[in-house]
Amino acid sequence: MGDPMSADTQVGPVTTPPQFKKVLDYIDVAKKEGATAVLGGKEGTAPECGNGWFVEPTIFTGVRNDMRIAQEEVFGPVLSIISFEDEADALRIANDVRFGLAAAVWTTDIGRAIRMSEKLQAGTVWVNTYRAVSFMAPFGGYKDSGLGRENGIEAVKAFLQTKSVWINTGAVASNPFVMR
């Protein structure tokens, strides 16, 4: 954790004081609901954090899909680990949420990667990577994760309205009931 302007920093501060409080509140709720913080879970107090809004990278185990930490978008350095039995169970868990901004699949099986990507209800799906973005590619969520798309031609389309205009430049009006 440290200065977000330094190339050596891997985790910067949370963006605003209200978001900082919100992330810490999510961590408290997760603990109260029975999740176990196996890493982090506190405000970042290392000297390199200065007076910023730092939250330690946090990993929870013992998470159930009905917990708030699994159901809501935290937007902070928090990871919830949920066990699953097989591919179908993983899809059921992943899609059993109100939100669908992004998802990630980690696998060496390309068939599984394609199947999961097709069936995950998320606006962006990463396979064996995370947070890869391009301003040429549309970005936006499914379900309650935002409205519309950002980036790429999809973002431009939000500002356009399609219209058809037909002009007869001939001297005689054509019969509107004849198919051409």
What domain range is 80 assigned to?
Answer: 17-157
pLDDT at 149 over 80: no
Q: Which pLDDT belongs to residue 152? A: 74
The count of domains in the chain is 1
Assigned domain for 132 exists: yes
CATH code of the domain in which 97 resides: 3.40.309.10
Distance CA 44, CA 51 (A): 10
The per-residue pLDDT for range 39-90, each reduced to its tens digit, is 999 999 888 888 889 999 999 999 999 999 999 999 999 999 999 999 999 9
Assigned domain for 89 exists: yes
Assigned domain for 171 exists: no
Assigned domain for 162 exists: no
Distance CA 13, CA 110 (A): 36
What is the distance in angstroms between the CA of the first residue and the CA of the last residue of the chain?
A: 68
Assigned domain for 124 exists: yes
The per-residue pLDDT for range 109-137, each reduced to its tens digit, is 999 999 999 999 998 999 999 888 888 88
- Single pTM value for the model: 0.77
Q: Which residues pair with 126 in a beta bridge?
A: 104
Q: Which pLDDT belongs to residue 49? A: 84
Assigned domain for 58 exists: yes
The per-residue pLDDT for range 166-175, each reduced to its tens digit, is 767 778 887 7
Assigned domain for 39 exists: yes
Assigned domain for 80 exists: yes
Distance CA 74, CA 25 (A): 10
Residue 175 class from Cβ within 10 Å (0-12 exposed, 13-18 middle, 19+ buried)?
A: exposed
Distance CA 157, CA 163 (A): 13
